[in-house]
Chains A and B, each alone.
Chain A
């Protein structure tokens, strides 16, 4: 009875984490497609990337319990947390140096150094 209750609670927690993660991932995809400007797209893609990945991997970790898989998932999560924001920063820095201006709206979305 006690085991069953803990199992159910863990299932509910991982279900919540996975669904929220899936929602963030989807929002990121839609944002990358529909945002008007390069920088807004970058914002949508990078923030939701890390958040969605953290939630999804957290959900799987809760399901996996205390096994080797959890340690590997924790390593993947740690790695994504460190490198995904760095890639977005490097990308934004490069775009700014190339001269693409962070204007709001579609004004800045021209073919630049294609």
Chain B
């Protein structure tokens, strides 16, 4: 019964990995890393339950946390990069306006 879920999750991980490798924009890759993390949590829960060791469910909870924090960190990185690029563009515009004006 659990093998169906495990095999489905493993196949989805492989598909997500393919998208991470070919995804044209960086947001595709962030999306697949997030998906990968959630699938890892599922796989861990199923295997922990299959092996009859409920202590291992702590790992699944920790992974879910880490996944969330990782995705937010990546997005924060993007935002700060956008802001810096916007600032550089503003500075350039001001300098060209200063030159012509």
A-B contact count (CB 8 A): 149
CA distance A91 to B68 in the complex (A): 11
B67 to chain A, nearest CB (A): 8
Interface size on A, residues (CB 8 A): 55
B31 to chain A, nearest CB (A): 6
Which chain B residues lie closer than 8 Å to A30 at the CB level?
15
A28 touches B64 (CB 8 A): no
Interface size on B, residues (CB 8 A): 47
Taken residue by residue from 45 to 56, chain A's Cβ proximity to chain B (1 for < 8 Å, 0 otherwise) reads as: 110010011001
Instruction: Pick the residue among A19, A56, A69, A97 that contacts B82 (CB under 8 A).
Output: A97
Q: CB within 8 Å of B: which residues of A? A: 14-15, 18-19, 21-23, 25-26, 28-30, 32-33, 38, 41-42, 45-46, 49, 52-53, 56-57, 59-60, 63-64, 67-69, 72-73, 75-76, 79-80, 83-84, 86-88, 90-91, 94-95, 97-98, 100, 109-114
Q: CB within 8 Å of A: which residues of B? A: 1-2, 4-5, 7-9, 11-16, 18-19, 24-28, 30-32, 34-35, 38-39, 41-42, 45-46, 49, 54, 57-58, 60-61, 64-65, 67-68, 71-72, 75, 78-79, 82
